Structure 1
Amino acid sequence: MGERTKNVQDGNIGETLEGLAAVIRGRRDVSPEESYTAKLLQGNSDSLLKKLTEEATEVVMACKDNDHDHIRYEAGDLIYHLLVALERYDVTLDELAGELDARRH
């Protein structure tokens, strides 16, 4: 577990996800030696998939501990790694939104 983020303020989830997705997309052509995100996008897919599994497990454990700040922190890690996976496998946020919208109607 990393060090928990201090002074977290509420934000706009749509803007945040779009901004983070844009940063991740911009890392596609960066050297993996210069960027962790580029390494996940360009390296062995198993590394990214293992990291995604690890982060999901950490969210579950934080929930079992009923630790609000830890849940938020680990959910941030999970969502970041999920966005990297979506970028790696060419699934856009608009496609994801369409999938979610189709499920709520």
Structure 2
Amino acid sequence: MSQKTYLPTDETPPPSHIGATLEALASTIATRREAGEESYTHRLLTGSVDDVLKKVMEEAGEVALAAKDVESWACSSLAAALAVEGDAGVASDEGSLGVELPAEYFDAVNHLRYETADVVYHLLVVLERFGIDLDEFAAELNNRMTDDERPQGGVRLHDDCVKRGN
């Protein structure tokens, strides 16, 4: 845990699979700082900051496009189902139209997951490059939640480390 964060003494940290995965990835990224030039991550960590920032922007754009693809497949499938079911006047008990989505929809969802992982990877590289560890990042996210929303045992930022709008 960094000097900027703390864990309330009466709370225990929550177990998390995503936490373990992000910690392992962050550790791998950190070790790549010492790798040679053949390492893509090493080049992002030690080269021009513009290189990694361009990748973040590029990957964020790809997430947006992938999400639009998912939405497009979902909407076109729903529209087709509405047209057919509108004629028959049939809907299921749960309020769902029982739409069977095409395989392309699931391909689009898989692509969205892939592109989102690229963004997270590149964001973790940015955090490592500037010395922000995962506890500090988690504390920033936790500070944005109310006490009721924050996970039991979630790390927090010390007040002197909270800088909003700066």
Q: Please, which of 99, 102, 105 is the counterpart of residue 143 of structure 2?
A: 102
Superposed displacement of residue 44, structure 1: 0.8
Q: Which has the larger radius of gyration?
A: 2
| Cα distance in 2, alignment partners of residues 43 and 23 from structure 1 | 18
Task: Tell me the residue number matched to 1:15.
Answer: 20
| Cα distance in 1, alignment partners of residues 45 and 143 from structure 2 | 28
| Cα distance in 2, alignment partners of residues 61 and 28 from structure 1 | 31
Q: Please, which of 127, 131, 137 is the counterpart of residue 86 of structure 1?
A: 127
Relative to the length of structure 2, the TM-score reads 0.55
AA aligned to 2:22 is L
| Cα distance in 2, alignment partners of residues 90 and 51 from structure 1 | 19
How big is the alpha-carbon RMSD for the aligned residues of Structure 1 and Structure 2? 1.2
Secondary structure at 1:90's aligned position in 2? coil
TM superposition outliers: structure 1 runs of 4+ over 4 Å: none
| Cα distance in 1, alignment partners of residues 125 and 63 from structure 2 | 17
Task: Tell me the residue number matched to 2:32.
Answer: 27
What is the 5 A alignment of 1:51-66? 51-66=55-70
| Cα distance in 2, alignment partners of residues 64 and 82 from structure 1 | 22
Superposed displacement of residue 34, structure 1: 2.4
Alignment deviations for residues 53-101 of structure 1 (CA, whole Å, 9 cap, x no partner):
0000000000000121111000011100000000001111000110111
Higher relative contact order (CA 8 A, sep 6+): 2
Secondary structure at 2:34's aligned position in 1? coil
Structure 2 gap ranges (5+): 1-15, 71-107, 147-166
| Cα distance in 1, alignment partners of residues 111 and 142 from structure 2 | 29
| Cα distance in 2, alignment partners of residues 87 and 76 from structure 1 | 16
Relative to the length of structure 1, the TM-score reads 0.85
Higher helix share: 1
Counting aligned pairs with the same residue, the percent is 53
Secondary structure at 1:65's aligned position in 2? helix
Alignment deviations for residues 20-79 of structure 1 (CA, whole Å, 9 cap, x no partner):
000000111222x22110000000110110001000000000000012111100001110
